[in-house]
Homo-oligomer: A and B are copies of this chain.
Amino acid sequence: MRRIALFLVVAGTAAGVIASFAAGAGRADDQAAPIFGVKIPPGYRDWKLISVTHEEGDFNQLRAQLGNDIAIKAYREGKLPFPDGTIIVALHWTRVPSEEDNKVFGRVQAFVAGSPVNMQVMVKDSKKYAATGGWGFGDFKDGKPSDEAMHKTCFPCHEPAKDQDFVYTRYAP
């Protein structure tokens, strides 16, 4: 009985860890996004930082964009368009006050990444995704892809950034 209880605790903890963006570092989720077939790339949480974003308004999120080695190299060399094989992931968290930090400052001024909201993936394949600027898109919540209607909004939203190869994020020095 104790062995079963222990197993449940361990399984519960493992599930909790995976619950992050639902893939966890180094774990790929097998479910592909509609339209594009994009999946959560394995090991994305180990990728290098491109930049960070604060979205106000309805979002109230802190975000970080990470890139695979091809993405980072292209960013650092200022190379556009991004080469095939580029993958950029955007991690979106709730924006929550840091109690410890604010206690030191004596006022509410520090906000940190809270729980994961969703993650978005852009994959460059100029042939496969020729109809959408060479990019395939994926939006995931709890590791599961959003529906087709959601994925139909990806390219139209990125289209105005055509001069930057449809990518909004710039590399933070």
Contact = CB atoms under 8 A, between A and B. Distances in A.
Contacts of A19: 173
B93 A172 contact: yes
Interface residues of A, number: 50
A52 to B, nearest CB: 5
A170 B112 contact: yes
Contact of A104 (B110, B111, B160): B160
Tell me the dominant secondary structure on chain A's binding face.
Answer: mixed
A116 interface: yes
A19 to B, nearest CB: 8
A132 to B, nearest CB: 16
5 contacts: A19-B173, A48-B48, A52-B63, A53-B110, A54-B95
Interface string A65-100: 010000000001000000000000001010100101
A52 B172 contact: no
A171 B88 CA distance: 20
Interface of A: 19-21, 25, 45-49, 51-59, 62-64, 66, 76, 91, 93, 95, 98, 100-101, 103-105, 107-113, 115-116, 157, 160-161, 164, 168-170, 172-173
A54 B98 CA distance: 10
B160 A115 contact: no
A49 B66 contact: yes
B113 A56 contact: no
A56 B111 contact: yes
Given A64-B64, A100-B161, A54 B54 contact: yes
